[in-house]
Amino acid sequence: MRQLIAGNWKMHGLGADSAALAEGIKAGAARAGGLACDLLVCPPFTQIAAVARILAGSPVVVGGQDCHAQGQGAHTGDISAAMLADAGATWVILGHSERRQNHGEIDELVREKVEAATAAGLTPIVCVGETEEQRVGGQETEVVGWQISGSLPKGFKGVVAYEPVWAIGTGRTPTEADVATMHAFIREELVRQFGEEDGQAIRILYGGSVKPSNAGALLAVPNVGGALVGGASLKAEDFLGIARGAIARRP
Ligand code: PEP
């Protein structure tokens, strides 16, 4: 299974910045002449169409950072999954901890968004992860187990990203042993929920302070199917440096 390196640009970049970043990633990916991984970038809503046009014909695909659970309606300020697809996105990040914290998104809503995204033809990346307090309290597997069973609908066809909240944007990462433990736990939960074949087929990304210098070690951990990258995805060289750490895994 190819690893997926996904860039979450969050609320960064005006038009010229996003275009330059997309051009840089496109050129770097072409120079690499075929990376061992899949590449995805998730710009702010307003940049999706322009970035998708720049990346058309390249191996880099485009996603959104959220979508509404409804197809359309009186939802001022929201964006539907079909609108993302119409703008050129094929993926969407859902249930990111910043959405869960800043917008009060709960598992049930995330699950409805996953269903809406899937119905619109988008591949969802569903984020799960414990807070620092929960990790210190030894509750990380319990919390992540609940998030997985609450956020993933029946027949889920997408990607799960394990992102410990305390590792996001802090420069801190779990040890490789802790990443291995959590990813093995998530794999078990996915197999329990979706059966052996489908549960094994779901990629599980690691996210939280991934950079070129630690990507190789994190991506080599068993059950790590790629990385969700925030800060380091805002520089083409760093993003591509992380992609160079990807490894080809057997299915
Ligand atoms: C993220 O927000 O998904 C993330 C992983 O951020 P960072 O890489 O900056 O820790």
Burial 38-72 (b: 16+ CB within 10 A, else e): bbbbbbbbebbebbbebbeeeebbbbbbbbbbeee
Please state the domain extents for the chain. 3-249
Q: Classify 142 as helix, strand or coil.
A: helix
Please say if 115 is a catalytic residue. no
Residues, the chain: 251
Residue with tokens 């994190």: 218
Q: Which atom of ligand 1 lies at the shortest distance from residue 8's CA?
A: 3
Mean pLDDT, the chain, rounded, equals: 96
Read off the pLDDT of residues 140-171 as tens digits, 9 standing for 90 and up: 999 999 999 999 999 999 999 999 999 999 99
Read off the pLDDT of residues 125-138 as tens digits, 9 standing for 90 and up: 999 999 999 999 99
Residue with tokens 């990111």: 96
- Is pLDDT of 178 > 60? yes
Task: Give the residue whose CA is nearest to atom 8 of ligand 1.
Answer: 230
* Average pLDDT of the segment spanning 32-39: 83
| Of residues 117, 55, 66, the one with CA closest to residue 88 | 55
Sign of CA dihedral 36, 167, 77, 12: negative
Sign of CA dihedral 190, 230, 66, 136: positive
Of 96, 98, 130, 140, which residue is the catalytic one? 96
Helices (H), the chain: 15-32, 48-55, 81-87, 97-102, 107-119, 132-136, 140-151, 176-194, 196-201, 212-219, 236-243
- Is pLDDT of 172 > 90? yes
Read off the pLDDT of residues 195-204 as tens digits, 9 standing for 90 and up: 999 999 999 9
Q: Which fold has domain 3-249?
A: TIM Barrel (3.20.20)
* Average pLDDT of the segment spanning 8-29: 97
- 165: CA distance to ligand 1 center in Å? 9
Task: Give the residue whose CA is nearest to atom 3 of ligand 1.
Answer: 230
Q: Which atom of ligand 1 lies at the shortest distance from residue 96's CA?
A: 3
For residue 248, name the pLDDT band (cuts at 50, 70, 90): low
Read off the pLDDT of residues 204-244 as tens digits, 9 standing for 90 and up: 999 999 999 999 999 999 999 999 999 999 999 999 999 99
Which of residues 29 and 158 earns the better pLDDT score? Answer: 158
